[in-house]
Amino acid sequence: MSAIPSAADWLAADPDPTTRTELEALIAEGGGTLRERFASRLAFGTAGLRGALGAGPTRMNRVLVRMTAAGVARRVVAEGGTTLVVAHDARHNSSVFADDTARVAAAHGLAVSVIRGPHPTPVLAFAVRELRAHAGVMITASHNPKADNGFKVYWMDGAQIVPPIDSEIASEIDAVGLLSDSDLADPDDPRIHDTDDDLISGYVNSATGVISSSSPRDLNVVYTPVHGVGREVFLRAFAAAGFPEPLVVPEQGDPDPDFPTAAFPNPEEPGVLDLATALAATRGADIVIANDPDADRLGVVVPTDDGWRPLTGNEIGCLLAEHVLSSGRGHDRIVATTVVSSRLLSKIAAHHEVHFEETLTGFKWIMRPAIERTDLRFVFGYEEALGYCVGDVVRDKDGISAALAFAEMAATAKADGSSIPAMLDELHRRHGVHETSQRSMRFEGSDGPEKMDGLMHRLRSDPPRAIGELVVESVTDLLDADTGLPPTNALILDLSGPTRLVVRPSGTEPKLKIYGEAVNTVLGDRSSSQIELARRLASQRLSQALDATIALLDFQPAT
């Protein structure tokens, strides 16, 4: 990384009155906060940039966005590219960051298509290939808290960037330095043009193409975009597909960057879907469907005999995989998931005699088989964090097309007198119960990465022989190139039981994550009661293994 600009130089380049005032106060005060803001620069990496809004190079702001946009533009030009497409969500400063990105790119000679107004991330991913752009930029922080924003980059193949493009862009950012207003094109520069509604219609048509035109449509849906940008496109897609209009949770229907009902606007977080579930129970709905704020993730809550239950990301993924594979034909199909997701998908793939690939964490890796395996048809990919891709039109997780596929599955089950829980039982009856869960250890502060690295080094250099009452049967270090995957900082521990744990630092948050899965065969008559017993025993074994791992690492959460 190049030298960090001084606070005075940064202040001189900052066009935003809010962050200028903040930085002026920090300079006047001096001390540790100012030093922290200028100790490094927010790193450009896995998902581009993502971090808290604020002044200085360790925060998301217009100065840093302009530098990053210039780095992306320089990398596009170096490859002979001439076009870029830009979109944004409804977070604080998202539209301003998008405008700055477009103006910087135009100043570098690129023709820039701007998707005006807040839109879902899958629309941007679709637009890259639809408009034949060389790259795309989405201003979003997905499901992060309201204080955050981000800058996400896609390449001409429609997928998120992978090495070495990410490091090459980072090098270009280093070479750029600070930009002034004179380094940007005028807002009305002819190289900047707005897309029209045909693009959104094209996305909607592609989304409805993932389901059959003749499948059942009788389904009463309660929907929440969790204060995000999904509602308009979601409702258009459901109408185009012929479903009854979903009932939108009124308190969460409008885009709101302050997320007033959800401090952590992630459908996986406890409480986020309570309003939707309560509305569904009152109105007698068949299902709750949720998107996160940029609509690239899908959450589902279903009614059971014991009340409404949210499905885990792995349950949604495996149900969708079974539905997709049962609906199509051909041994030339391929499905993919990550090393931290359930192994059940590999068994579903084997049952349908299709290809299966296990990748590193993140959709930039899940989509590689779609791009590189030209001899096969990519039909489905998922990650346990509520990310799903049905088909190959959008090469990223897409919470809207996945919602359509799930709604088709639920409507079909309803028409057959079945249910989503019954379908899940059948999967577990056939392949065994697969219970999954995880634990996170959060490391705040500037020494957080060092602490996480220390724990990973200790676990790697002296792996345990047992975790709780379970024997460690093998340890796979994903830094080892012999795994067949790109090296990454993660360890897989296969335990007796069978149970599997994967330990890795998060790519977007200061967390060390432990992902776990316990598998049990359903014994006896394989009745519903036997399935439930197998689940309970697997869940107990997994919980004990995760707790024992936390104790083994001697993690003491901050108080």
Is 525 part of a structural domain of the chain?
A: yes
471 inside domain? yes
Lowest-pLDDT range, 80-84, 367-371, 408-412, 507-511? Answer: 507-511
The domain that holds 456 is classified in CATH as 3.30.310.50
- Report the pLDDT value the prediction gives residue 289, as an integer from 0 to 100: 99
- pLDDT over 70 (residue 61): yes
Of 163, 195, 227, the one marking the end of a domain is 195
The verdict on residue 210 lying in a domain is no
Alpha-carbon torsion (59, 62, 65, 70), positive or negative: negative
Asked if 171 and 55 sit in the same domain, the reply is yes
Report d(CA 85, CA 134) in Å as an integer.
8
CATH of the domain at 37: 3.40.120.10
pLDDT at 13 > cutoff 70: yes
- Which residues does 414 contact at the CB level (< 8 Å), separation at least 6? 216, 218, 219, 286
438 and 351, same structural domain?
A: no
Positive/negative CA dihedral, 119, 125, 129, 134: positive
Report yes or no on 43 lying in a domain: yes
Q: Does one domain contain both 158 and 69?
A: yes
pLDDT at 445 over 80: no
* The two structure tokens encoding residue 279: 């509305």
CB-based contact 407:289 (threshold 8 Å)? yes
> Are 236 and 300 within one domain?
yes
According to DSSP, the residues that pair with 381 across neighbouring strands are 336, 389
Residue 82 lies in a domain: yes
pLDDT over 50 at 559, yes or no: no
Task: Look at the chain and report how many structural domains it folds into.
Answer: 3
Query: Do 245 and 389 reside in the same domain of the chain?
Result: yes
Quick: pLDDT tens for 345-397. Answer: 999 999 999 999 999 999 999 999 999 999 999 999 999 999 999 999 999 99
Please, which pLDDT band fits residue 246 given cuts at 50, 70 and 90? very high
The reply to whether 436 and 311 lie within a common domain is no
* Class of residue 130 by CB neighbours under 10 A (exposed 0-12, middle 13-18, buried 19+): buried
Same domain (yes/no): 371, 476: no
pLDDT, mean over the chain: 95
Residue 383 and residue 305 in one domain: yes
> Catalytic residue at 142?
yes
* CA dist., res. 45 & res. 167, Å (int): 7
Q: Taking residues 254-270, what's their average pLDDT?
A: 97
The residue segments making up the domain with residue 17 are 7-195
The DSSP bridge partners found for residue 86 are 114, 137
**Same domain, yes or no, for 437 and 467?**
yes
Look up residue 415 and give its two tokens. Answer: 């028409």
- In-domain check, residue 464: yes
Same domain, yes or no: 448 and 406: no
- Number of other CB atoms surrounding residue 78 within 10 Å: 10
The whole-angstrom separation of Cα 488 and Cα 246 is: 41
- Do 225 and 140 share a structural domain? no
- Which of 195, 227, 255 is a domain's end point? 195
Q: Is residue 426 part of a domain?
A: no
Same domain? For 190 and 283 the reply is no
Selected catalytic residue, list 94, 142, 341, 342: 142
Name residue, tokens 């065969």: 521
Q: pLDDT by residue (tens digit) across 87-140?
A: 999 999 999 999 999 999 999 999 999 999 999 999 999 999 999 999 999 999
Q: Which of 146, 161, 195 is the last residue of a domain?
A: 195
- Region 324-332 average pLDDT: 95
In a domain, 1, yes or no: no
